[in-house]
Structure 1
Amino acid sequence: MTQPLFILALPRSYTSLIAGMLGQHPQTFGFPELNLFTVDRLMEMWQDGKHDAGFNKFQRHGILRAVAEIYAGEQSSNTVEMANHWLAARQNRSGFEVFRELSEALDPLMAIDKSPAHVISSVYLERIYSAYPDAFYLHLTRHPTNQGNSVMKVQDGGYALSVNSIDYTDNEAIIDPQIAWHDINLNIMELLQKVPPRQKMHVRGEDVMADPLGSLGRICRWLGLRDDIEALEDMLHPEQSPFACVGPINALFGNDPNFLRDPVFQPHLPKQPPLRAPLPWRMDGACLKAEVQKMALEFGYHH
């Protein structure tokens, strides 16, 4: 059984794009966002609002689309309905058991999971590692200012609010995504301390954007996948993924909506602001906190 790859990253860190690229390799299958390790039992995904961040129906779209694609070969209203029945028959199983069944159906292709919901809690990360101690783990990061700025543009910072990323200063509560950037990356790093060196890699999303063939080739060699030019060329077309477009009416999402609108990859060199510059979402002229700057430097971002 081929071991899966788990991409561990905050949302708005090029996750959809890079997972889509890796999923186009001829030896892999890139899942949409399954969120399967956020639940003990599958039925919890159908209990709205049970979770701290509120498990909403959009978070089920990825698993519905994946089941439709894998077992029916297409995603339509009818095959999503079939997927609903398939999942209902497994409602008492753990998220891990369902993930394993999907992965086995794809064997010998390597399954790639990149659900940003998994990194919110160390409990979810622990579930993944307990189930897959031999898997590959890719820690993907983005510059804290750019990631934070991107998060703040989605639902007026709704994500930052949902993960309690709030700065309490001078009797004022300010939504500030840098707190989540620091704490969630810390969760990931703590998990990765247990993972053998051979099974983990840190990649800056910016490096993949600027040098896709070099970065993707390095990831392929680490995973033991082909790194010939044909395989690398395939990976430059994430838009060819069956999950790189809006789905049928009963499972529209399963991926970042911005990616679904425009999944085409354009190589570019992302601008990285100085770590000491004032933050665009703060009206008080605040900069990145010292501990955030320190972590960003460890990841290879520069002052």
Structure 2
Amino acid sequence: MTNGCPPLFILCAPRSFTSLLAAMLGQHPEAYGVPELNLFVEDTLQEMVGAMTDVYAIQLHGLLRTVAELYAGEQTIDAIDMAHRWIVKRIDMTTGEIYKELCRRVAPLRIVDKSPANSATLRRLERISQAFPDACYLHLIRHPFDMSKSLMNLQGGQIMATLTNSIDHSQGYEVLDPQILWYRLNRTVCDFLATVSDRQQMKLRGEDLLNDPKQYLQLICQWLGWSWHDSAYEAMLHPDDSVYARFGPFGAQLGNDPNFLKSPIFKQRHVSTGSLLGALPWRPDNQGFFPHVIELANSFGYE
């Protein structure tokens, strides 16, 4: 039995334009953009569901919405109830087996997945590689200043930083600092991609994409072997046409960045970047970026 086309995984830190890019790519006629599936956080579906309780329960919303849409053709309260039963029926399967079933469901289209949780540990990325040896990986990067500032300004962003242990103890006291999360996730992605064939990976700065979408969307399509024509480009300029580019029904409202779900329309604009120098506004002690953060950012072309 075929497992469908190997997926495209967008690897990233949060607040890195991932929701927008994934939805844009998902509108290509050869792609199927999904919400955050988060399947590879554990080995089995039972372990995954068990881990997604309390504050982590929203991490299941993307899978519920996807199953509802693919198997019921709609995202309603009744369809979400069906999705829960679908999960229970498959609870003993591995998350890789579940993902392959979804790939078969959308075939011949190719799934585009941007779950930031995938990039949290090497073990999760290795699960992807084991399930899909031919998968492609787009490492999407944002300047550490802008990513960190965006996270700290996001409603619930400080809670996210706390839950991901983005706390600096180096000064003898605790400071919540999202640059720790930026470095940890991007470093993990780089370490993983060092084990992956060059043809299966691509690095992209989110600011470059937003400043010149036509050039960089064409580069991505060429890399993936997707067709490139005016109608495909026009479709990708409308991420708001995705069936997932809005809030879902009760019990599965999210599955994506709430800000994106509120306003999923792409508006081309010039995006500038912050500086790697100077004091950071979210720190009360006037400290700047750590040297290792600056070094990694420099390697991505940031100043």
Give the TM-score band, short-chain normalised. Answer: over 0.9
The AA in structure 2 aligned to 1:105 is: R
2:50 is matched with 47
1:123 is matched with 123
The AA in structure 2 aligned to 1:236 is: L
2:85 is matched with 85
1:12 is matched with 15
Tell me the C-alpha RMSD between the 2 structures. 1.3
Rounded to whole Å, the distance in 1 between the matches of 2:281 and 2:270 is 20
1:223 is matched with 224
Q: 1:301 offset after TM fit, Å?
A: 1.2
When the two structures are superposed, what TM-score results if normalisation uses the length of structure 1? Answer: 0.95
CA contact (8 A) 1:217 1:227 kept: yes
Alignment of 1:247 with 2:248, yes or no, is: yes
Alignment of 1:299 with 2:294, yes or no, is: no
CA contact (8 A) 1:45 1:55 kept: no
CA contact (8 A) 2:43 2:127 kept: no
The AA in structure 2 aligned to 1:120 is: A
Q: What secondary structure does 2:9 align onto?
A: strand
Unaligned segments of structure 1, at least 5 residues: none
Q: 1:156 offset after TM fit, Å?
A: 4.9
1:149 is matched with 149
CA contact (8 A) 1:48 1:55 kept: no
CA contact (8 A) 1:152 1:158 kept: no
When the two structures are superposed, what TM-score results if normalisation uses the length of structure 2? Answer: 0.95
1:205 is matched with 206
Q: 1:55 offset after TM fit, Å?
A: 6.5
1:24 is matched with 27
CA contact (8 A) 1:25 1:235 kept: yes
- Residues 111-169 of structure 1: CA deviation (Å, up to 9, x unaligned): 11110111111111111111112111000000000000111123251112111111113
Size of the alignment, in residue pairs?
299
Q: Runs of 4+ in structure 1 displaced over 4 angstroms?
A: none
The AA in structure 1 aligned to 2:140 is: L
1:158 is matched with 159
The AA in structure 1 aligned to 2:207 is: E
Q: What secondary structure does 1:56 align onto?
A: helix
- Residues 85-122 of structure 1: CA deviation (Å, up to 9, x unaligned): 11110001111110100011111101111101111111
Rounded to whole Å, the distance in 1 between the matches of 2:126 and 2:172 is 36
Rounded to whole Å, the distance in 1 between the matches of 2:74 and 2:84 is 14
1:184 is matched with 185
1:100 is matched with 100
Rounded to whole Å, the distance in 1 between the matches of 2:187 and 2:133 is 19
Rounded to whole Å, the distance in 1 between the matches of 2:157 and 2:224 is 37
The AA in structure 1 aligned to 2:139 is: H
Q: What secondary structure does 2:209 align onto?
A: helix
CA contact (8 A) 1:47 1:55 kept: no
The AA in structure 2 aligned to 1:69 is: E
Rounded to whole Å, the distance in 1 between the matches of 2:206 and 2:123 is 25
CA contact (8 A) 2:52 2:59 kept: no
Match of 1:38 among 34, 38, 41: 41
